[in-house]
């Protein structure tokens, strides 16, 4: 695989503010990479640096093998889709699409032909003579996309392109962009604060915080093996439960405030750890049949899914399919598969666990505590 | 109260207020049409019984107004062109950046905006006469007006540029345009209305400018209409119908332009001065 | 060289070029005269030394002379009266009109904009019209006042020293009211409507709402408008030239007209420069207030 975008220890300062800290990133040609993180994490700055709209302070940035450090945006041959779409309001859709071609000296007729081809792909054929103000949000979004596609650039840069759309349209456009990517196979960098977008669209997800890359990898790898507490809490919805614990005397159990959990492998007794459990990995069973019992604080149901919050400190969230007869104040048992546990040390770093005895435990559980609490209808 | 009655009532009051406020203008138009005796009648006539339409041609001829207005036009066009050429770029940069230097620049410009012309004319006149600029007095006046009005123009046009989203320009850069290209292709067309309105305001100011012209232009054939009007109004004049006819010819084009473009002018003006 | 060129097309060089040229222009045509003004106020300048730069320095003599002249005191007082009366008049009438038009009936914004014609007209024309309206025997204002039985005998607005300054003040209030009204309207429309709805539910009367919501919310707007009024009023020259020429006997003279009169009628350029320096300092102080009250706009 050839690398299309390479960043080597890139730093960006705004005065004294350190916006990007030693960023190393390699993006393969044709892949779809999502930069995700909370606002102010530096993901947009990184994207704008790739476009050349911000100048990096130190480090090296390459696109298709050429150093881009001192190259102005217009010579980088990248295309960008802006959050606000940045459609030129004084130009028709067609003129918006062909703008970059006309600047490069492509003849009007040829530019028009190319624009029509692209419009056919993105479904804009009937809208070519309209002005941006006459378009709906989704149509504008499509024009912005088409304007990027038309150039066959070395890379597509997306800056939160879906955040101005309503929820339903956002889900639809997510699929459309992904389908477009399957078709064009152009290198794409996609900035979003929405981890679901990142997880569903990208081949490779880069999680950033405070100007640092916290972890990068395939979406499900990030979900299954988050490198630290931040990534664990950021990826997945609803967020992972974190419980402070101590390793028991036997070194094979974690002691929580309200119970004990088996660990995959031995740890030094007395070590302070944080146990992470995703809400979807906890099963509710009748009281006394799980790993421990908890009283229920609140039950929220969306109809298809029920979110249950425990009245413990810290609180635990559990997700179950279906709707329940549970109520606030009930006591339920919680069953947790040790293989689904995440352990983090005092600094929030992941403690790797190999589960040699996972199979055995699963069998044990299915044999002994196999009476899950029916909360569905 | 019925919504419609309330609106009619308010509109009626508003019309009365406007009529009172705009009475001086009406009085100018009416006086111009009066005969010498009707003008001094007691009680004054509020409708011209015997309108003297020929007065305009008479005043135009006798006061040589064509020449005066031509000079006003030359000065106003010259000042607006100079201000636009220099001021648009300046306003653009001041709108695009946010840092200490921009604040300093804006502060200086706002300070220059407030210097009264009648106080600045003394050093400008002496300085210009020393470097020989008074040999071309209309050009000297253009320079002085440009210096006086450019800050105002920059403040207004800056507001127009600030309403053009930064992303549009960035999109043009990524699309392959240079800074200059993006400025002319994207930013300038989008700020065009704001720039035009500001230029019209500056034009109106320069068209009526008096202090600089009065002080620097000695030759009567180069003087603008404001100076001509001043000469016309001697200390003990009683030719008020002629003077009002002169004033009518002078301001009617300005007023017509204002009434036509009123909405935009008001919007442009308020965006720069406040908010 | 190539780097500089690419900086002009793609980088900061483009911006710096755009901003430096006009700043240089302003420096030469506004900054230098400002300095030159101060220099001249410390020099002896007469018709003979007008053309040379090497004029004798006289220290503070011009300032001392200026303040020992008998007319200086009254003219400074006139200036203060002119400025304060104009600002109060423009503001009060302007605010009243703005509040009226705020009730927002069909046609309100168009009619309101129409008022601004007073502001776009050449100042000298406004002066000429008011000169005629304010004329003693045949002036239409005297007619109205007589009809309304406010006065018995005609007031000779322009030639009576007791009224001459007020003649210019009346014209100036007319000229500036519309501008005040428009800006105050902008300020009023910036107050969120739900504040009034909340206050009404809380039981505030119309008057209470005005004093507890409108006025406090308008504070920065009012500050800016008063400062702008001060600046514009101190710039007012054309009305003096068009109505009284500062007379009779300096009874309607103000500093900004006097400075010009000294230089261009009496050819005492040093004195003209001296009074200019003093007034420019005042205007600068006013503009600092203005800039401060619009600072949120400047910094965004």
pLDDT digits (tens, 9 = 90+) for B240-256: 888 898 999 999 999 99
pLDDT of residue A358 exceeding 60, the answer is: no
Chain B residue whose CA is closest to C7:
B179
* Model confidence pLDDT, tens digit, residues B154-205: 988 888 898 888 889 999 988 888 888 888 889 999 888 889 888 998 999 8
A197, part of any domain: yes
Give a yes or no: residue A375 inside a domain: no
Q: Is A315 inside a domain boundary?
A: yes
> Domain of A352: which CATH number?
2.40.50.140
**A39 Rama class: left (phi>0) / alpha (psi -120 to 50) / beta:** beta
Same domain, A263 and A211: no
Residue B186 to residue A52, Cβ atoms within 8 A = no
Distance from CA of C300 to the nearest CA of A (A): 19
Among residues A79, A91, A92, the alpha carbon closest in space to that of A150 is found at A79
**Nearest 5°: CA angle at A48, between A45 and A54?**
85
In the predicted model, what is the mean pLDDT of residues B31-36?
84
Across the range C195-216, mean pLDDT stands at 84
Mutate to test the interface with C, among B8, B69, B108, B118 (most CBs of C within 10 A): B118
Quick one: A229 and A201 in the same domain?
Answer: yes
User: Closest-CA residue in chain C for A75?
Assistant: C10
Instruction: Taking residues A193-207, report their average pLDDT.
Output: 93
Token reading at B167: 């992303």
Q: Are residues A192 and A261 in the same domain?
A: no
Angle at A251 between CA A249 and CA A252, to 5 degrees: 120
| Nearest Cα residue in chain A from B172 | A100
Could you list the residue range(s) of the whole structural domain that residue A119 is in? 3-233
Neighbours of chain B (3+ CB pairs under 8 A): A, C
What is the predicted pLDDT for the residue at C10? 63
Q: What is the pLDDT averaged over residues B30-56?
A: 81
Does the beta carbon of C220 lie under 8 angstroms from any beta carbon of chain B?
Answer: no
Return mean pLDDT, chain A.
Answer: 87
Q: Closest residue of C to B13, CA-based?
A: C100
- Lowest-pLDDT choice from A255-259, B26-30, C273-277: A255-259
Enumerate residues 6+ apart whose C-beta is below 8 A from A18.
A11, A12, A211
Examine residue A92 and state whether it is found in any structural domain, yes or no.
yes
Closest CA to A158 of A102, A198, A130: A198
Residues of chain A contacting B177 with CB distance shorter than 8 Å:
74, 103
| CB–CB contacts below 8 A, B to C | 298
Among residues A233, A265, A286, the one where a domain terminates is A233
Assign C269 a pLDDT band (cuts: 50, 70, 90): confident
Taking residues C235-264, what's their average pLDDT? 88
Nearest CA in chain C to B176: C10
Q: What is the pLDDT of residues B139-167, one digit of tens each?
A: 999 999 999 999 889 988 888 898 888 88
Instruction: Determine if the peptide bond prior to A5 is cis (ω within 30°).
Output: no
Q: What is the mean pLDDT of chain B?
A: 86
> From the centroid of its chain, how far is CA C176?
8
Q: Which region among B212-221, B228-237, C115-124 has the lowest average model confidence (pLDDT)?
A: B228-237
Query: Measured between beta carbons, which residues in chain B are less than 8 angstroms from residue C18?
Result: 89-90, 92-93
Task: Decide if A182 is inside a domain.
Answer: yes
List subunits contacting chain A, requiring 3 or more Cβ pairs under 8 Å: B, C
Same domain for A102 and A49, yes or no, is yes
Contact B173 A53 (CB under 8 A): yes
Strand A331-336 versus strand A282-285 pairing type? antiparallel
- Which residues of chain A does C10 touch, with a Cβ-Cβ cutoff of 8 Å? 72-74
**Chain A residue closest in CA terms to C7:** A72
Residue A103 to residue B181, Cβ atoms within 8 A? yes
Q: Who among A78, A88, A104 is closest to B174 (CB)?
A: A78
Residues C17 and A241: their CA atoms lie apart, in Å, by 57
Residue given tokens 């007020």 in the structure block: C166
Buried b vs exposed e over A200-228: b needs ≥16 C-beta within 10 Å?
A: ebbebbbbbbebbbbbbbebeebbeebbb
* Angle between helix B100-113 and helix B65-96 axes, rounded to 10 deg: 160
pLDDT in the model for residue A369:
42
How many contacts (CB atoms, under 8 Å) link A and B? 60
- pLDDT reported for residue A240: 93
pLDDT of C296 > 80? The answer is: no
Do B170 and A83 make contact, defined as CB atoms within 8 angstroms?
A: no
For A73, which residue in chain C has the nearest alpha carbon?
C10
Instruction: Give B171's contacts in chain A (Cβ within 8 Å).
Output: 80, 82, 86, 88, 147
Distance CA C235, CA C207 (A): 36
Distance CA A124, CA A129 (A): 10
pLDDT digits (tens, 9 = 90+) for A35-93: 999 998 999 999 999 998 888 999 999 999 899 988 888 888 899 999 888 899 889 99
pLDDT at A366 over 50: no
Would you call C11 an interface residue with chain B, using a CB distance cutoff of 8 Å? yes
Residues A281 and A308 in one domain: yes
Look at B240 and C115 and tell me if their CB atoms are within 8 Å. no
* 3-state SS string for C116-133: CHHHHCCHHHHHHHHHHH
Give the pLDDT of residue B275: 39
Band of pLDDT at residue B76, cut at 50, 70 and 90: very high
Q: Is A318 part of a structural domain of the chain?
A: yes
Query: Residue A33: pLDDT above 90?
Result: yes
Are C6 and A74 within 8 A, CB to CB?
A: no
Chain A CB contacts of C9 under 8 Å are 72
pLDDT class of A372 with cuts at 50, 70, 90: very low
Report the chain B residue with the minimal C-alpha distance to residue C109: B263
pLDDT at B234 over 80: no
pLDDT of A365 higher than 50: no
Question: A98: distance to nearest CA of chain B, Å?
Answer: 10
pLDDT of C294 over the 70 cut: no
Quick one: pLDDT at residue A329? 86
Task: Tell me if C260 and B118 make a contact (CB, 8 A cut-off).
Answer: yes
pLDDT at position C283: 83
Q: Are residues A213 and A270 in the same domain?
A: no
pLDDT for residue C255 is more than 50: yes
Half-sphere exposure of A98 (CA within 13 A, CB side): 21
In 3D space, the residue among C119, C287, C90, C186 whose CA is nearest the CA of residue B270 turns out to be: C186
Least CB–CB distance from A74: residue in B178, B186, B190: B178
For residue A188, the tally of other CB atoms under 10 A from its CB is: 27
Counted residue by residue, chain B has a size of 275
Q: Mutation test of the interface with chain B: which of A79, A101, A103, A191, choosing the one with the most B Cβ atoms within 10 A?
A: A103
Same domain, A283 and A206: no
Q: Which fold has domain C68-295?
A: MetI-like fold (1.10.3720)
The alpha-helical segments, DSSP class H, found in C57-122 are 61-68, 72-102, 108-114, 117-120
A81 near A164, Cβ under 8 Å? Answer: no
Give A84-130 pLDDT, tens digit per residue: 888 998 899 999 999 988 888 889 899 999 999 999 988 899 999 99
In this prediction, what percent of chain B has a pLDDT beyond 90? 25
| Three-state secondary structure of A45-77 | HHHHHHHCCCCCCEEEEEECCEECCCCCHHHCC
pLDDT for the residue C93: 94
**Number of Cα atoms under 13 Å in the Cβ half of residue C269:** 25
**Number of residue pairs across A and C with CB atoms under 8 Å?**
6
Judged by CB atoms closer than 8 Å, whether chains meet at B42 and C143 is answered as yes
Average pLDDT over residues A4-20: 92
Residue of A70, A73, A76, A103 best to disrupt the C interface, most CBs of C under 10 A = A70
**Residues C239 and C163 sit within 8 Å (Cβ to Cβ):** no
CB A350 within 8 A of CB A342: yes
Would you say A255 and A248 are in contact if contact means Cβ atoms under 8 Å apart?
Answer: yes
Q: At which of A194, A215, A233 does a domain end?
A: A233
Chain A: closest CA distance from residue C9 (Å):
9
The verdict on a CB contact (< 8 Å) between B176 and A90 is no
- Tell me the pLDDT band of B273, cut-offs 50, 70 and 90: low
Closest residue in chain B to residue A150, using alpha carbons only: B175
The reply to whether A80 and A147 lie within a common domain is: yes
Q: Is residue A167 part of a domain?
A: yes
Q: What is the 3-state secondary structure (H, E, C) of C140-199?
A: HHHHHHHHCCCCCCCCCCCCCCCCHHHHHHHHHHHHHHHHHHHHHHHHHHCCCHHHHHHH
Angle ∠(B93,B95,B100) on CA atoms, nearest 5:
80
Higher pLDDT, A84 or C136: A84
Better-scored residue on pLDDT, B130 or A265: B130
A73 contacts B171? CB cut-off 8 A: no
pTM of the predicted model over 0.90: no
Q: Which residues of A touch C6 (CB under 8 A)?
A: 72
Q: Do B89 and C22 touch (CB under 8 A)?
A: yes
- At CA B216, angle to CA B213 and CA B222, rounded to 5? 65
State the burial class of residue C213 (Cβ atoms within 10 Å of its Cβ: 0-12, 13-18, 19+): middle
The pLDDT value recorded for residue C92 is 94
H or E, element range at B21: helix B3-21
Q: Per-domain residue ranges for chain C?
A: 68-295
pLDDT of the residue at B50 = 78
Are B266 and C116 a contacting pair at CB < 8 A? yes
At residue A230, the pLDDT reads 94
Identify the helix (H) or strand (E) that includes residue B104.
helix B100-113
B-interface mutation test, from C43, C122, C252, C260, most B Cβ less than 10 A away: C122
Dihedral-angle region of residue A194 (phi above 0 means left; psi in -120 to 50 means alpha; beta otherwise):
beta
The model's pLDDT over B51-70, given as tens digits with 9 standing for 90+, comes to: 888 888 888 888 888 899 99
Residue of B nearest to C100 (CA): B14
Which of A83, A84, A103 lies at the smallest CB-CB distance from B175? Answer: A103
As for how many domains chain A has, the answer is 2
Is the same domain home to A318 and A188? no
Digit-coded pLDDT (tens) for C80-109: 999 999 999 999 999 999 999 888 788 888
Candidates A74, A90, A151; nearest CB to B173: A74
Q: Is A52 touching B (CB cutoff 8 A)?
A: yes
Can you give the pLDDT at residue C8? 64
What's the CA dihedral at C144, C150, C155, C161 to 10 degrees? -130
Cis-peptide into A238, omega within 30 deg: yes
**Contact C300/B98 with Cβ under 8 angstroms?**
yes
Tell me, what's the pLDDT at A190? 95
- Contact state of A79 with B174 under an 8 Å Cβ cutoff: yes
Q: Report the distance separating Cα C291 and Cα C285, nearest Å.
A: 10
List CB contacts (< 8 A) between C231 and chain B.
Answer: 114
| Band (B108; pLDDT cuts 50, 70, 90) | confident
* A274-321 pLDDT per residue, tens: 999 999 999 888 888 888 888 999 998 888 888 999 888 888 899 988
User: Which residues of chain C from 51 to 70 reach within 8 Å of chain B, CB to CB?
Assistant: 51-53
Q: For the domain that residue A104 is a member of, what is the CATH number?
A: 3.40.50.300
Name which of C5, C8, C10 to mutate to probe chain A: the one with the most chain A Cβ atoms within 10 A of its Cβ: C10
């Amino acid at each position: 695989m050839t690398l299309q975008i390479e960043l080597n220890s890139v730093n960006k300062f705004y005065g004294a503010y350190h916006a990007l800290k030693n960023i190393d990133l390699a993006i393969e040609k044709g892949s779809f990479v999502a930069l995700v993180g909370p606002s102010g994490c530096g993901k947009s700055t990184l994207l704008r640096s790739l476009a050349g709209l911000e100048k990096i302070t130190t480090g090296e940035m390459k696109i298709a093998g050429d150093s881009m450090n001192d190259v102005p945006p217009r010579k980088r041959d990248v295309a960008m889709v802006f959050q606000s779409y940045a459609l030129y309001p004084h130009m028709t859709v067609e003129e918006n699409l062909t703008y970059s071609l006309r600047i490069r000296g492509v003849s009007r007729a040829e530019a028009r032909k190319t624009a029509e081809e692209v419009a056919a792909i993105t479904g804009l054929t009937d809208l070519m003579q309209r002005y941006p103000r006459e378009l709906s949000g989704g149509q504008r979004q499509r024009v912005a996309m088409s304007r990027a596609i038309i150039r066959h650039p070395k890379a597509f840069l997306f800056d939160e392109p879906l955040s101005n759309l309503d929820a339903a349209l956002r889900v639809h456009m997510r699929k459309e962009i992904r389908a477009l990517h399957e078709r064009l196979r152009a290198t794409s960098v996609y900035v979003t604060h929405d981890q679901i977008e990142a997880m569903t669209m990208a081949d490779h997800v880069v999680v950033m915080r405070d100007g640092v890359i916290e972890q990068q990898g395939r979406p499900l790898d990030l979900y299954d093996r988050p490198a630290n507490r931040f990534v664990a809490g950021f990826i997945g919805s609803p967020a992972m439960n974190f419980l402070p614990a101590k390793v028991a005397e036997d070194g094979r159990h974690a002691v929580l405030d309200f119970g004990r959990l088996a660990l995959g492998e031995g740890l030094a007794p007395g070590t302070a750890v944080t146990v992470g459990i995703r809400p979807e990995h906890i099963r509710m069973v009748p009281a006394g049949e799980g790993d421990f019992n908890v009283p229920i604080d609140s039950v929220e149901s969306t109809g298809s899914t029920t979110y249950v919050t425990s009245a413990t400190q810290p609180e635990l969230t559990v997700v179950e399919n279906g709707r329940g007869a549970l109520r606030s104040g009930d006591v339920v048992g919680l069953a947790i598969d040790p293989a689904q546990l995440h352990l983090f040390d005092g600094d929030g770093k992941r403690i790797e666990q190999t589960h040699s005895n996972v199979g055995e435990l699963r069998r044990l559980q299915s044999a002994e505590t196999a009476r899950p609490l029916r909360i569905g209808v | 109260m019925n919504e419609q009655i309330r609106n009619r009532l308010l509109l009626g009051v508003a019309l009365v207020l406007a009529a009172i406020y705009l009475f001086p203008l009406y009085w100018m138009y009416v006086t111009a049409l009066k005969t010498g005796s009707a003008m001094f009648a007691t009680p004054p006539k509020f409708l011209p019984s015997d309108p003297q339409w020929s007065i305009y041609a008479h005043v135009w001829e006798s006061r040589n107004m064509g020449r005066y207005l031509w000079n006003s036009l030359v000065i106003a066009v010259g000042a607006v062109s100079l201000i636009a050429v220099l001021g648009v770029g300046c306003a653009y940069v001041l709108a695009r950046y946010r840092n200490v230097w921009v604040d300093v620049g804006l502060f200086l410009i706002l300070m220059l905006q407030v210097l009264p012309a009648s106080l600045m004319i003394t050093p400008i006149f002496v300085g210009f006469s020393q470097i020989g600029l008074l040999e071309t007095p209309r050009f000297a006046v253009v320079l002085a007006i440009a210096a006086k009005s450019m800050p105002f123009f920059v403040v207004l046009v800056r507001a127009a540029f600030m309403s053009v989203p930064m992303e549009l320009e960035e999109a043009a850069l990524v699309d392959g345009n240079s800074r200059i290209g993006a400025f002319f292709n994207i930013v300038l067309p989008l700020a065009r209305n704001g720039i035009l309105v500001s230029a019209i305001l500056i034009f109106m100011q320069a068209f009526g400018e008096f202090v600089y012209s009065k002080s620097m232009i000695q030759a009567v054939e180069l003087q603008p209409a404001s100076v001509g009007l001043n000469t016309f109004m001697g200390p003990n004049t009683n030719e008020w119908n002629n003077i009002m006819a002169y004033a009518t010819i002078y301001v009617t084009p300005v007023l017509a332009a204002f009434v036509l473009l009123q909405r935009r002018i008001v919007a442009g003006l308020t965006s720069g001065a406040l908010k | 060289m190539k780097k500089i060129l690419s900086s002009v097309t793609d980088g900061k060089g483009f911006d710096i070029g755009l901003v430096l040229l006009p700043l240089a222009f302003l420096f030469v045509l506004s900054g230098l005269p400002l300095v030159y003004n101060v220099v001249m106020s410390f020099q002896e300048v007469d018709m003979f030394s007008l053309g040379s730069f090497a004029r004798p320095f006289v220290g503070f003599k011009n300032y001392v002379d200026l303040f020992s002249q008998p007319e200086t005191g009254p003219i400074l007082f006139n200036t203060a009266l002119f400025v304060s009366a104009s600002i109060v008049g423009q503001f009060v009438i302007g605010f009243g009109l703005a509040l009226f038009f705020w009730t927002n009936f069909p046609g309100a914004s168009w009619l309101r904009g129409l008022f601004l014609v007073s502001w776009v007209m050449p100042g000298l024309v406004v002066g000429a019209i008011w000169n005629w309206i304010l004329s003693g025997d045949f002036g239409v204002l005297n007619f109205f006042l007589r009809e309304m039985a406010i006065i018995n005998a005609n007031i000779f607005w322009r030639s009576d020293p007791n009224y001459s300054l007020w003649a210019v003040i009346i014209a100036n209030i007319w000229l500036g009211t519309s501008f005040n009204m428009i800006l105050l309207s902008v300020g009023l429309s910036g107050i969120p409507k739900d504040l009034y709805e909340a206050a009404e539910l809380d039981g505030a009367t119309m008057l209470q709402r005005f004093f507890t919501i409108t006025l406090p919310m308008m504070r920065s707007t009012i500050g800016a408008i008063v400062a702008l009024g001060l600046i514009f009023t101190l710039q007012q020259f054309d009305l003096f030239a068009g109505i009284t020429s500062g007379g009779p006997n300096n009874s309607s003279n103000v500093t900004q007209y006097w400075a010009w009169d000294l230089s261009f009628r009496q050819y005492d350029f040093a004195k003209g420069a001296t009074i200019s320096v003093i007034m420019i300092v005042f205007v600068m102080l006013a503009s600092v207030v203005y800039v401060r009250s619009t600072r949120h706009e400047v910094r965004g």
